[in-house]
Structure 1
Amino acid sequence: MMAQGDIKKVVLAYSGGLDTSIILKWLQTELGCEVVTFTADLGQGEELGPARRKAEMLGVKEIYVDDLREEFIRDFVFPMFRANAIYEGEYLLGTSIARPLISKRLIEIAEETGADAVAHGATGKGNDQVRFELGCYALNPDIKVIAPWRDWQLKSRTELLEFAQMHQIPVPKDKRGEAPFSVDANMLHSSSEGKVLEDPAEEAPQYVYQRTVDPMEAPDEATTLEIGFEKGDPVSLNGVAMSPATLFAKLNDYGRDNGIGRLDMVENRFVGMKSRGVYETPGGTILLKAHRAMESITLDRDAAHLKDELMPRYAKIIYNGFWFSPEREMLQAAIDKSQEHVCGTVKLKLYKGNVMIVGRASPASLYSEELVTFEDDNGAYDQKDAAGFIRLNALRLRTLAKRKQLLNK
């Protein structure tokens, strides 16, 4: 537990919500330190002006509100999607991949402002505390990290509200009671956890879903898209070149309107417990399907299979907060190498929660109509060669079968 005087200046990852506003005041009153606030615009869809005004009201002199949408998609989301990363078979890592960027900016602002510490609002039960702190220590091994939820004596929502009233922190009316669930959002996804979602046997109420229409209420006609790729990254939509964040926002719009990307899962947190989360990843779900389709005609078989073997390890590294680790960088180098010829276009249809691939083309395609045709292939493939191929591959199986026959006599 830190005491007054231990910290002179701290950079707080600040959303402007009730919890981080209480943390801000707690840092000022309990630790007696100057607070710098940092609010990241990662495409969460909220107006960030109120966060700035609230920080000003609480006496903060140095306020950072940074638009990081392009950097987020270009330098974090796209590299992850080159790997087709999915955690535990389903989760597209929307919260996980945002944390290293926030950590990076926290450390940069600490250096710019001469702060000796950073602080975050993650609880002591979740994964985010690990992700934030591993990221910060990887970038500045000497930085001090303050995690108020692990340090302060405020143990209940009632005590938080009493602290807020004592220090004249505005409390939104809907926060005076228990919040129905907790939401984290960015351009890649929204994540909902807790309260009405804590019983995994109960269906999530429809009001939990905020980024997608109900698939059953989606249009009765399919929406057709064409995504263009270069070196594994999407660069155009329906023939129009776009920046990473612009393109991704468009994919989100298409996904939202067609009910794409809903996920209700129970996952294994890094800290050891299971948790139920409801995720919405409309644009990411479309992109993953399109990227795999692009790879299907441009990646060599064994290179593709090796990528699929590496993917769960890569996904786990990101989920657990090791984005800045040497093992992630090593895997990223291999993944990026595999994407050199992943280029071309993929056509998709979106219909009531489904993403269907209907075509793919590439100047670097490995697909050969001449080889796979059922018509005359003009000698491109001699079917007689398959007999020797099968005999060689059957050799050990036949040997094992003969031994089994002998032992069973």
Structure 2
Amino acid sequence: MRPWNTFVEGDNLDVLRAMAAAGERVDLVCTDPPYNTGHDFAYRDDFRDAGGRPGSRHDAWAAMVRPRLEACHDLLRETGALFVSIDDNEAARLRLLLDEVMGEQNFLAQVVVNLNPKGRQLGRGFATSHEYLLVYARDARRTALDASSAETVDERDFPLLDEGSGRRYRHLPLRNTNKKFNPVTSPTLHFPLWGDPAGGRVATAPFAGAVEVAPVFGDGRPAVWRWSRPLIEERPGDLVCRVVRGRGGERVDVFQRDWLHRDGGRRKKLPTIWLAEEVGSTDTAVAELKELVGHVFESPKPTGLVRRVLGTMPPDAVVLDPFAGSGTTGHAVALANAADGGTRTCVSVNSAEPTRPGSNAHAAGLLTVADITRARLRAVDRLLGGGLDERVGWG
């Protein structure tokens, strides 16, 4: 079995194409390409077709990123997904570029990530406190991505307590509140139920003390149930009949007991705003890296952010980070495996871009950015295990 982490030093475009030629495939691309701050990019590409860097830095940036995204697309399995971090400098262009490369129909989300809660205080204008994650599937109809998490389930959303079992639950209307689903579009889900608002019992056939209950919207128009007749007959104990007050006064309705499971099986859809208190911040990311190899990278990503991304995919996912930076993705993969027993593996790619003379990294003997990635992943292996395969180029 491949070690949890593989680090490849080299130009990522060369490495990605070599991986594809070797028949490699991945389940998840999670990466953080260089943000376009007006500086040169540490890649060998010829940007003359982009009009030259001085006058068209946006075109030059897109010309650098496009072939690498295309190579990632080719490496993704049909069930795979791609997460790309970006800031305001290129968010709009990256979204259009990914629509072309991945297919507009495969766009899943543009997540706002609150990495700097205090906001950047330097410069003019607003104190920017966020970046973005653009999320695409290789094929939205077949993707294994599950945009939910057990960590976002809030026990306070389940205020009711079943005295017999001690389990918490909430009431959800059994009728479908989406008006796209109605007796015309879903005729098999439009049928009467019988319920006892005093005792709460619900059934698909009349019984003593029951009243007939038809599904209706708040304005009185006919609706449909969310459950089929066989499911209702199978789980009558998860339903309750109650008197409610609506626009037209009191009426009888049927509700589902929606249980909070204690075994971790309960999941909740992820929102599209991720707060620093949930996934970490730039400050916590710096502290994580400092603990392993020192303060040697200016803007790492927090492992909590990547672990939330990993949580949307199966625990045996093959992960790729072609712009590995400080090695956050590989670190997060090791943390996730150690926490849940998963068998994820990660390929991290970084070039031998020189670190700046006089910088903390350079002073620590880390003469290239690849040295930083390698040092972190070695430290992760010593701390968490899982192994590390180090390569120069693929093959």
TM-score, structure 2 as length reference: 0.22
Q: Which protein has greater RCO, CA pairs closer than 8 Å, 6+ apart?
A: 2
TM-score, structure 1 as length reference: 0.21
